[in-house]
Each structure stands twice: as structure tokens, then as C-alpha cells.
């Protein structure tokens, strides 16, 4: 009489089970990475106030509490540089104001760089966003912290 099929897993069965678990783990990790990437880039795609990247190095952050800087930002109306930011930095964007055109972009943004306890103004040209105007970020009337 035959004892029937063997109840012990074969090497092939064990390898298949391991591959299923690895595939499931990779799929879960990929889904998690997608969630984090989507959450991180929401602000970078122009969806309101939030953290944005900077694409250049040595970008001047200017004091906006001088003369006409808050209403008509430019290098001459905002002459005092309070610091610089670089391509690895992120800035919290509060609002945007029309001003001197830099690199074809006529807007300036009030920002607070990550780790700073102050805010200033930079040309929006240096902020990572696909358009000049950052959708959802208030204009001049919304420049309140």
C-alpha cells in the first residue's frame, strides 16, 4: 500500500514560499516608498504653504524689513543679505510677492529655511517648482507668519 503524498515540504516548495515572502516584502516596501515620496513632493508640486527644495547653491536670503522690500522685492530694495541657502536646503514658503524678475520669474517668496529662527525673502526662481507662481501659496495679502 502506498503511504500517500509526502507531507514534508520539498526544496522546491520551500524556495517558492521564500520567493513569495520576498516578493510580498518588496511590494510592501515599494508601496511605502511611494507613500513617502508622494507626501514629500506634495509641496514641491505647488500645493500651498509648505517645505520646498532649493535647486542652486549660494542663494541669498534677504532681510525683507527694509524700505520697499515687502511690497516690491528686488536686490536693490532688499540689499541686506541675512544668510545663504544651498541645493540641499529646504525652505518653508509663506507667501509670494511680484518683484524684480530673476531668470524669467517675476515672483519672490517669503521663506524660513529649515533650522533657522528667522525668515527672509528670496527670488522664487531658486525654489523647486514647475511654474513661476506656486499654486496655493498666498500672494502679497497673505504675507503673515
The three grid cell numbers given for residue 56, joined into one nine-digit string: 542652486
96: closest CA among 128, 132, 68?
132
- Gap between the Cα atoms of 121 and 65, Å rounded: 10
The three grid cell numbers given for residue 29, joined into one nine-digit string: 516596501
pLDDT at 87 exceeding the cut of 80: yes
pLDDT at 142: 80
CATH of domain 50-142: 2.30.30.40
pLDDT at 107: 97
Q: What is the pLDDT of residues 102-126, one digit of tens each?
A: 999 999 999 999 999 999 999 999 9
Q: Where are the domains of the chain?
A: 9-44, 50-142
Q: What is the pLDDT of residues 56-72, one digit of tens each?
A: 999 999 999 998 999 99
Phi and psi at 15, nearest 5°, equal -60, -40
pLDDT at 39: 40
Average pLDDT, rounded, for the chain: 80
The counts of H helices and E strands in the chain are 1, 6
CB 130 within 8 A of CB 46: yes
Q: What is the pLDDT of residues 20-36, one digit of tens each?
A: 555 555 454 444 444 34
pTM: predicted TM-score of the whole model, two decimal places: 0.68
CA-based radius of gyration for the chain: 26
Amino acid at each position: 500500500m502506498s503511504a500517500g503524498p509526502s507531507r514534508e515540504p520539498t526544496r522546491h516548495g520551500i524556495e517558492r514560499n521564500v520567493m513569495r515572502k520576498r516578493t510580498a516584502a518588496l511590494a510592501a516596501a515599494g508601496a511605502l516608498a511611494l507613500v513617502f515620496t508622494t507626501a514629500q513632493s506634495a509641496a514641491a508640486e505647488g500645493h500651498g504653504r509648505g517645505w520646498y527644495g532649493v535647486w542652486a547653491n549660494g542663494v541669498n536670503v534677504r532681510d525683507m524689513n527694509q524700505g520697499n522690500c515687502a511690497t516690491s522685492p528686488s536686490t536693490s530694495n532688499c540689499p541686506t543679505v541675512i544668510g545663504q541657502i544651498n541645493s540641499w536646503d529646504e525652505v518653508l514658503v509663506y507667501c509670494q510677492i511680484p518683484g524684480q524678475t530673476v531668470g524669467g520669474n517675476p515672483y519672490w517668496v517669503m521663506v524660513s529655511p529649515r533650522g533657522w529662527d528667522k525668515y527672509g525673502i528670496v527670488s522664487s526662481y531658486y525654489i523647486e517648482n514647475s511654474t513661476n507662481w506656486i499654486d496655493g501659496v498666498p500672494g502679497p495679502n497673505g504675507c503673515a507668519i
